[in-house]
Structure 1
Amino acid sequence: MRILIVEDEKLAADRLASLLKRIECTAEIVATTPSVRKTVALLNLKPQLDLIFMDIQLADGISFEVFDQVPVEVPVIFTTAYDSYAIRAFKVNSIDYLLKPIDEDELQAALEKFRKIRSHAAPPQLGALEQTLQLLNGGKSYKTRFVVKVGEHLHTIPVEEAACFYSYEKATFLQTTAGKRYAIDYTMEQVESLVDPECYFRVNRGYLVKLKAVKDIVAWSNSRLKLELHHPTPAGEVVVSREKVNDFKAWLDR
């Protein structure tokens, strides 16, 4: 069993490798990569692999970025510290996830699931896993990427790169953390229901913002708040409506 470990913490990678060799005598650790960039570079070489263990948060980003840059045809078992990314982004060819610190019995059960899938030569069945993740997240699964049109081409924008969403001239736009803007085929109400409320707040009818997009917060007239974004939008001022100020402050203080 040829295995790739994607993990940026050496102690965690070494412990996982040790557990794998103890449980599975045929396990061969082909490589350990600590970053998105190095994982993509390795996978582009098309190494012979049977299974990938992949941490969610890596040295230079989140591991889901790997799937946007290179085809991953090998089954994946995610390892995670149980943060929101694991719940929001299980839309790739994963067969299981393991909560850190990894338990030996759970690792053995995950390997058994992999063996059953491989013996039946069938693609991974994600239904039960997705249901479990939805239950962990209060029954809600959030969107992981948006498809945008650039000229004649379609691109995907990971939700993590979206700084804010706004309404302008009867259209809805996604603005990235780099300040790029794209029209998307959703209403603001739809977007609000699709993204994680832990990460995005609907400050008024026209704006849904991420905290990292906010450069400054200023007290405004009529007990409102004015937000200054790192990258302003054509839609004008971003003002937290008076009825949402208390909720917005509570959201900031989480």
Structure 2
Amino acid sequence: MQILIIEDEPRAANQLQNLLKLLEFEHEVLEILDTIEDSVSWFKANPAPELVFMDIQLADGLSFEIFQKVEVQCPIIFTTAFDQYAIRAFKVNSVDYLLKPIQENDLQQALDKFLSSKKPSGLDPIMLKSFLADLQGVERREGILVKEGDGFAQLRISDLLYIYSEDSVSFGVTAHKRVIIDETLDQLHPTLNHAQFFRINRSQIVAKSAILKIDRYFNHRLKLSVVDDRGQEFIVSRPKTSEFKEWLNR
């Protein structure tokens, strides 16, 4: 059984492979991909695998974006850390979805469902088109709850210059202060206005209005100068460079 794994967390990819071995599922991993861009390139250059395990939240966006750029004609088992994406996964006609951390029994059930299907197929194009339209029309949040003293306060999203993660804690920076946010970047990113905010790498989201200067950086990356950088380096990861340039031109 030839499978493709699309997962941007090495630990999660390793755990999946270990579970497949534990369940004695005969398979060959063709590739492990971690970005939308690399996944699109792979599907364009290779025959469809027999099965894909696909993480929904990748470093450069939601994996559903892959289907907007290339036709995927194979069964998919989605993986996600968030229940909110479970219904979305079924809307695009996946074989199944698995919540992280993946449990042995859940993986076995998903594999049984896949193997029992007489004619496992790819995604329903009509369902997919409808789903993507719904996804793009999701209402973006205007405020965010942040810690303030012994309590909480609401901060306007439009006031944020950038958001970053450090030692598993999320911080938001405005022109006047830095605040702690009780959400991960994976949870925050889908809810932001993507016309105004861009996730330049796994640990940083930057507002377009905060960017002062853009310089070339080694290994085909970009380095940003932003308002009130607080000693942080802002490097656009290589897989996101072309998308970032397009975003700036909008």
Q: TM-score, normalised by structure 1?
A: 0.50
Quick one: distance in 1 between partners of 2:60 and 2:138?
Answer: 23
Shift of 1:15: 0.9
Matching of residues 231-250 of structure 1 within 5 Å:
none
Q: Is 2:15 the partner of 1:15?
A: yes
Q: Is 2:67 the partner of 1:67?
A: yes
Q: TM-score, normalised by structure 2?
A: 0.50
Asked whether the 8 Å contact 1:56–1:86 carries over to 2, the reply is no
Q: Aligned partner of 1:109: which letter?
A: Q
Q: Aligned partner of 1:63: which letter?
A: S
Shift of 1:196: 5.6
Aligned residue-pair number? 150
1:112 aligned residue: 112
Say which one has the larger Rg.
1
Where 2:79 maps in the other structure, the secondary structure is: strand
Shift of 1:85: 3.6
Structure 2 residue corresponding to 1:145, chosen from 126, 132, 136: 132
Where 2:65 maps in the other structure, the secondary structure is: helix
Q: Aligned partner of 2:115: which letter?
A: R
Q: Aligned partner of 2:133: which letter?
A: F
Asked whether the 8 Å contact 1:55–1:63 carries over to 2, the reply is yes
Shift of 1:93: 3.5
Q: Closer, same or farther in 2 for the Cα pair 1:122/1:5, shift >3 Å?
A: closer
Asked whether the 8 Å contact 1:4–1:52 carries over to 2, the reply is yes
Residue deviations 1:16-73, cap 9 Å, x none?
A: 0111122244211111001111111111112341100011111111111111111111
Asked whether the 8 Å contact 2:82–2:99 carries over to 1, the reply is yes
Give me the identity figure in percent. 44
Residue deviations 1:114-156, cap 9 Å, x none?
A: 0111x3456789xxxx9xxxxxxxxxxxx74339xxxxxxxxx
Q: Aligned partner of 1:146: which letter?
A: A
Where 2:38 maps in the other structure, the secondary structure is: helix
Asked whether the 8 Å contact 2:40–2:66 carries over to 1, the reply is yes
Quick one: distance in 2 between partners of 1:56 and 1:123?
Answer: 16
| Greater relative contact order (Cα < 8 A, sep 6+) | 2
Residue deviations 1:195-225, cap 9 Å, x none?
A: 468x479xxxxxxxxx756769xxxxxxxxx
Quick one: distance in 2 between partners of 1:48 and 1:80?
Answer: 22
Where 1:32 maps in the other structure, the secondary structure is: strand
Quick one: distance in 1 between partners of 2:82 and 2:123?
Answer: 22
- Unaligned segments of structure 1, at least 5 residues: 131-142, 148-157, 160-193, 202-210, 217-228, 232-254
Q: Closer, same or farther in 2 for the Cα pair 1:38/1:73, shift >3 Å?
A: same
Where 1:15 maps in the other structure, the secondary structure is: helix
Matching of residues 72-221 of structure 1 within 5 Å:
72-88=72-88, 90-117=90-117, 119-120=118-119, 144-146=131-133, 158-159=135-136, 195=138, 199=141, 212=157
Q: Closer, same or farther in 2 for the Cα pair 1:212/1:9, shift >3 Å?
A: same
1:151 aligned residue: none
Residue deviations 1:168-209, cap 9 Å, x none?
A: xxxxxxxxxxxxxxxxxxxxxxxxxx7468x479xxxxxxxx
Q: Closer, same or farther in 2 for the Cα pair 1:25/1:43, shift >3 Å?
A: same
- Unaligned segments of structure 2, at least 5 residues: 144-155, 162-195, 197-206, 209-250
Q: Closer, same or farther in 2 for the Cα pair 1:213/1:84, shift >3 Å?
A: farther
